[in-house]
Amino acid sequence: MKKDIHPEYHQINAVCACGNEVPIGSVNSEMKVEICSACHPFFTGKQKLIDTAGRVEKFLKKYGKTLNK
């Protein structure tokens, strides 16, 4: 490998908007993120599920005759 062409690698703390800090390695001196695993709805279990009932039935009612060809 060539010398003096690679950036310096730092151990930093990525800071989330919720205040959580995660230690990571990066070439950046600091990192700020908007969302992390501590506040993301998927990981916290507070995810809102949108009711999509009736979409398949509506599709089959509209296009069901052409699917059987």
* Structural domains in the chain, sorted by start: 10-67 (4.10.80.400)
Q: CA dist 32 to 7, 18, 20, 24, 56, Å?
A: 20, 11, 10, 12, 41
How many percent of the chain have pLDDT more than 90?
Answer: 26
Q: HSE (CB half, 13 Å, CA atoms) of 24?
A: 15
Residue 63 has pLDDT above 90, yes or no: no
Residue 54 has pLDDT above 80, yes or no: no
